[in-house]
C-alpha cells in the first residue's frame, strides 16, 4: 500500500534524512521518500505488518507531525489546509514579536560602537534587561529549542539541535556569569540575535518556498467551485464535490465545465487551451466527450458526468505534477546521505575547534564563541533545499507548458539522451488515415469472369475491418459509411497483429492485409500487382491487399498525413545533436517515403508491435541512450523499455501510464522542450549544490577562527546566523529564476 503524509516541524535536510532513514528501518515499510522542500513523505508499506497509524506514531516519536493526505475525499483535493502561507504566517508572527523584544538589545549592543546616546542604566541593570528580553525571545521561538532538544535526546540531531546548543550555551553561560557576578563578557545579545535571524530566515524560506508550488496552485484554480445539475427535475447549484457519476450537468456560455463527461444535448465551441494549448475552440456536439475545467464558449451544453473528483483529467494532471515535485533526483541520494551525518559531524567540529583554542591559551569565553559560531554557520538548510526547489520549479514550469514530467529521474535521463525514436502512426502522423485509392484486380466471389467493383471491394474490406481497432481499419470503415454501404456479416474474424485480418463472408474466406499476410497464406503476387503496390508505397501510402479464397481481388491504399510539427521537431532534435529514428509496422518502402519527408535517416520498418521493445533494447545494446515517443497501446512495452518513455497526451491511457514524460498538447516540439528544460533544471541543481557546499566549506573554517591569527578577524555568531538564514533564501531565489526561462 502507498500513502502520502504531510510532515510538519522539519527544519533542514537532516530532518528529512532522519525520518526517511528511520522509516526504511521500520518493519513493514518497503520504501520511504521524504522531501524537505514540499514537506511530504511518500511511503510504501505492507499493510499486513504495519498500518498508517503506526507509521504516524513512528514519525511522531522523532519529534515531527504527520498528517494523512491519502484519505482525500471524492472531490478535488483541498490543498488549502496545507497552504504554504500557513508556516510563512506563523514565522512572520514569531519574527515580529522576537524583533520587538530584540530591538532594545540591538540598540544597547550597537550604541557604544556607533556613538549613539546610551541608555542611562547601570551595567547590572543593562544585563538584567538583556536577560529578560532574551528570555522572552526564547519563549517566542521555543519550538526551535524544543525540537532541537528532542533531536539531541533521540541521538538524531538536526538543524534546530545546532541552534539549540549554540543559543542555550550562550544564554546559560551568560546567566551563570550574571548570577555569580563574575567580571566576564555576557552573550545574551548573541543568543537573541541568532534566534531573530534564524526566525527571519525561516520566514523568508517559507514564503519563497511557497512560490515554487505556484504551478500546482494555478492548476487547482482552474477547477470551478460550483456546478448546476438537474435533481428531481429541478436545476440546483451544488458544490463540485457533491456531483455524482451519472448526474446531468448544465453548462451555460462562458462557464467552466465542472467534470469530465459526455454531451447529451446542445452544441457549442469549447476552449480546451488548458489541455491542448490550442486557442481555437473545439466543436462539441451530442456524443462528444468534454474535459473538466475547460471553458464553454458559445452554446448551451447538457453533460452527463462520467469522471469526477480525483478521476478527472485535471485531477490526474495535478497528481502527476505533485508526485514529480516530491520525487527525488538520483543526485539527491548523495545529498541525503551527507545530510544524515552532517549535523553530528558539525557538533564534533565545533567541540574540536573550541578545544584547540583553549589549548592554545585563549579564554573560555573566546572558545565558547568559536563553538557557538561553528554550530550556527553550518546549519544545512541550503543543502536540503538545493535539489528539491529546482525540481519543483522545473516540473511546475513544464506543467504550465503542457509537459508532465512524472518523476525527477526523467530529468537526469532526458539530458543524457543520444537517440530519439518515434512511433509513426499517431505520433509523427495525425493517426487519422484516409482512404486514397481502390484498384480492382479480379472477381471470384460470384462469377470468375466478372470483376469485383471498387464498391464491392470496399464493402468487403469495411465489413471485415469493422471488428478491428487498427487506425487504418477506421479509414476504410469511414469511406464505406460515406458511400452508404451496408456491411456484410462476418464470421470467424481474426485480427493478425502487424499483418491484417481475416474472416468469412458469405462462406468465403476473406483476407485484408500486407504482403506478409498474403505470403503466410501462400498467395502469389504477380509482377503487375507488386509494381502497383510499390508505386503506392513510394508515395508514402500503405497498400492493403484484399483476397477472396486465396485470390487477390483488389488493392486499397490508405495515407496518414504528417503532423504539422513533426518536421520541425525532427529538425530541432538533429540540430541539438540527437540521433532520430522512426519505428513502424509499415513496409520499408512506405517507411522510407515518410522518413524522407521528415528528414529521418534511421528507419526501423516492418516491426511487429510485440517486437518494438526488442528493437529499443537492440539500440541500447549499441550504446545508445534511447528516448521513445509513442501513443498507442502497442507502444507501452517500448515506452517502458526505453531509457526515457515520452507519451503523447492524446494517446491511450496505457501509453500515458507507461511514459515518464507526457506531452499533453500532443506537440512533438514539446519533446525538445522537455529535454532542454531537463538540462536547465539539472544546471540549477548543480548551481544550488555548489553554493550550498561552498557556503559550508568556506564558512566553517572562518567560523572556527582560521583567520584570527593572521588578521585578527573573528566571525560574530549573530553574523553567522544571518549568513546561514540568507544562504537558504539565496538557493530558493536561484530556483525561482527558472520561471523566467522560455521553453
Beta-bridged to residue 304, according to DSSP, are 248, 262
Q: CB 581: neighbour CB atoms within 10 A?
A: 20
Q: CB 27: neighbour CB atoms within 10 A?
A: 9
For the chain, counts of helices (H) and of strands (E)? 26, 26
Burial class (CB in 10 A: 0-12, 13-18, 19+), 153: exposed
Say which DSSP state 184 is in. S
Largest CA distance in the chain: 126
Residues 196 and 99: their CA atoms lie apart, in Å, by: 6
Residues 491 and 482: their CA atoms lie apart, in Å, by: 24
Say which DSSP state 562 is in. B
Q: How far from 159 is each of 200, 278, 308, 377, CA to CA, in Å?
A: 15, 48, 43, 10
Sheet holding 419-423, edge to edge: 403-405, 661-663, 644-648, 626-630, 419-423, 579-583, 602-604
Residues 468 and 349: their CA atoms lie apart, in Å, by: 72
- 328-358 burial string, b = 16+ CB within 10 Å, else e? bbebbeebbebbbebbeebbebbeebbeebb
Is the Cβ–Cβ distance between 298 and 253 less than 8 Å? yes
Catalytic residue among 160, 247, 336, 423: 423
Question: Does residue 423 carry a catalytic annotation?
Answer: yes
Say which DSSP state 619 is in. H
* Ranges assigned E (strand) in 114-257: 226-231, 234-239, 248-251
Residues 695 and 698: their CA atoms lie apart, in Å, by: 5
**Catalytic residue numbers?**
423
Amino acid at each position: 500500500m502507498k500513502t502520502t503524509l504531510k510532515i510538519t516541524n522539519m527544519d533542514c535536510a537532516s530532518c528529512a534524512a532522519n525520518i526517511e532513514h528511520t522509516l526504511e528501518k521500520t518493519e513493514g515499510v518497503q520504501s520511504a521518500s521524504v522531501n524537505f522542500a514540499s514537506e511530504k513523505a511518500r511511503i510504501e508499506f505492507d499493510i499486513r505488518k504495519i498500518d498508517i497509524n503506526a507509521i504516524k506514531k513512528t514519525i511522531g516519536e522523532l519529534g515531527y507531525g504527520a498528517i494523512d493526505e491519502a484519505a482525500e475525499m471524492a472531490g478535488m483535493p483541498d490543498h488549502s489546509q496545507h497552504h504554504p502561507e500557513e508556516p510563512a504566517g506563523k514565522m512572520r508572527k514569531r519574527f515580529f514579536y522576537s524583533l520587538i523584544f530584540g530591538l532594545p538589545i540591538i540598540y544597547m549592543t550597537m550604541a557604544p560602537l556607533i556613538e549613539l546616546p546610551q541608555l542611562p542604566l547601570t551595567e547590572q541593570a543593562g544585563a538584567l534587561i538583556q536577560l529578560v528580553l532574551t528570555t522572552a525571545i526564547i519563549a517566542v521561538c521555543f519550538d526551535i529549542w524544543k525540537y532541537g532538544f528532542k533531536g539531541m535526546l533521540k541521538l538524531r540531531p538536526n538543524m534546530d539541535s545546532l541552534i539549540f546548543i549554540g543559543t542555550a550555551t550562550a544564554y546559560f553561560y551568560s546567566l551563570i556569569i550574571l548570577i555569580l557576578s563574575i567580571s566576564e563578557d555576557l552573550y545574551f545579545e548573541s543568543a537573541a540575535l541568532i534566534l531573530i535571524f534564524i526566525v527571519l530566515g525561516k520566514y523568508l524560506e517559507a514564503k519563497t518556498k511557497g512560490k515554487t508550488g505556484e504551478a500546482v496552485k494555478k492548476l487547482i484554480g482552474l477547477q470551478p467551485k460550483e456546478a448546476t445539475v438537474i435533481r428531481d427535475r429541478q436545476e440546483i447549484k451544488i458544490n463540485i464535490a457533491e456531483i455524482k457519476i451519472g448526474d446531468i450537468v448544465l453548462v451555460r456560455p462562458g462557464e467552466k465545465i465542472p467534470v469530465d463527461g459526455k454531451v447529451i444535448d446542445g452544441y457549442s465551441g469549447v476552449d480546451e487551451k488548458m489541455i491542448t494549448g490550442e486557442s481555437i475552440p473545439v466543436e462539441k456536439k451530442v456524443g462528444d466527450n468534454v474535459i473538466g475545467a475547460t471553458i464553454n464558449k458559445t452554446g448551451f451544453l447538457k453533460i452527463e458526468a462520467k469522471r469526477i473528483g480525483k478521476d478527472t483529467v485535471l485531477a490526474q494532471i495535478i497528481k502527476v505534477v505533485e508526485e514529480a515535485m516530491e520525487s527525488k533526483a538520483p543526485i539527491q541520494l548523495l545529498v541525503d546521505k551527507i545530510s544524515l551525518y552532517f549535523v553530528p559531524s558539525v557538533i564534533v567540529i565545533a567541540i574540536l575547534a573550541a578545544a584547540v583554542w583553549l589549548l592554545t591559551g585563549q579564554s573560555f569565553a573566546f572558545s565558547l564563541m568559536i563553538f557557538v559560531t561553528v554550530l550556527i554557520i553550518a546549519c544545512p538548510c541550503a543543502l536540503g533545499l538545493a535539489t528539491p526547489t529546482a525540481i519543483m520549479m522545473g516540473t511546475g514550469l513544464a506543467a504550465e507548458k503542457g509537459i508532465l514530467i512524472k518523476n525527477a529521474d526523467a530529468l537526469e535521463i532526458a539530458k543524457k539522451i543520444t537517440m530519439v525514436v518515434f512511433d509513426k502512426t499517431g505520433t509523427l502522423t495525425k493517426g487519422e488515415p484516409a482512404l486514397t485509392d481502390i484498384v480492382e484486380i479480379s472477381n471470384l466471389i460470384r462469377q470468375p469472369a466478372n470483376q469485383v467493383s471498387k464498391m464491392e471491394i470496399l464493402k468487403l474490406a469495411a465489413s471485415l475491418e469493422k471488428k478491428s481497432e487498427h487506425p487504418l481499419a477506421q479509414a476504410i470503415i469511414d469511406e464505406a459509411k460515406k458511400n452508404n454501404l451496408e456491411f456484410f456479416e462476418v464470421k470467424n474474424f481474426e485480427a493478425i497483429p502487424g499483418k491484417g485480418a481475416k474472416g468469412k463472408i458469405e462462406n468465403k474466406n476473406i483476407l485484408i492485409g500486407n504482403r506478409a499476410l498474403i505470403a503466410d497464406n501462400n498467395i502469389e503476387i504477380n509482377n503487375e500487382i507488386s509494381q502497383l503496390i510499390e508505386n503506392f508505397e513510394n508515395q508514402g501510402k500503405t497498400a492493403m491487399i484484399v483476397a477472396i479464397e486465396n485470390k487477390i481481388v483488389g488493392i486499397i491504399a490508405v495515407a496518414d498525413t504528417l503532423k504539422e510539427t513533426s518536421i520541425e521537431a525532427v529538425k530541432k532534435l538533429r540540430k541539438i545533436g540527437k540521433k532520430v529514428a522512426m519505428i513502424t509496422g509499415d513496409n520499408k518502402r512506405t517507411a522510407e517515403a515518410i522518413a524522407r519527408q521528415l528528414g529521418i535517416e534511421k528507419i526501423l520498418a516492418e516491426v511487429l508491435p510485440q517486437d518494438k521493445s526488442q528493437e529499443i533494447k537492440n539500440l541500447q545494446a549499441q550504446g545508445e541512450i534511447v528516448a521513445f515517443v509513442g501513443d498507442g497501446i502497442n507502444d507501452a512495452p517500448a515506452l517502458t523499455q526505453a531509457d526515457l518513455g515520452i507519451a503523447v497526451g492524446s494517446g491511450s491511457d496505457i501509453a500515458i501510464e507507461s511514459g515518464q514524460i507526457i506531452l499533453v498538447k500532443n506537440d512533438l516540439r514539446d519533446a525538445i522542450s522537455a529535454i532542454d528544460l531537463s538540462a536547465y533544471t539539472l544546471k540549477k541543481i548543480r548551481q544550488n549544490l555548489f553554493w550550498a557546499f561552498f557556503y559550508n566549506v568556506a564558512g566553517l573554517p572562518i567560523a572556527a577562527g582560521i583567520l584570527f591569527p593572521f588578521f585578527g578577524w573573528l566571525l560574530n555568531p549573530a553574523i553567522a546566523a544571518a549568513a546561514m538564514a540568507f544562504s537558504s533564501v539565496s538557493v530558493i531565489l536561484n530556483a525561482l529564476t527558472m520561471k523566467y526561462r522560455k521553453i
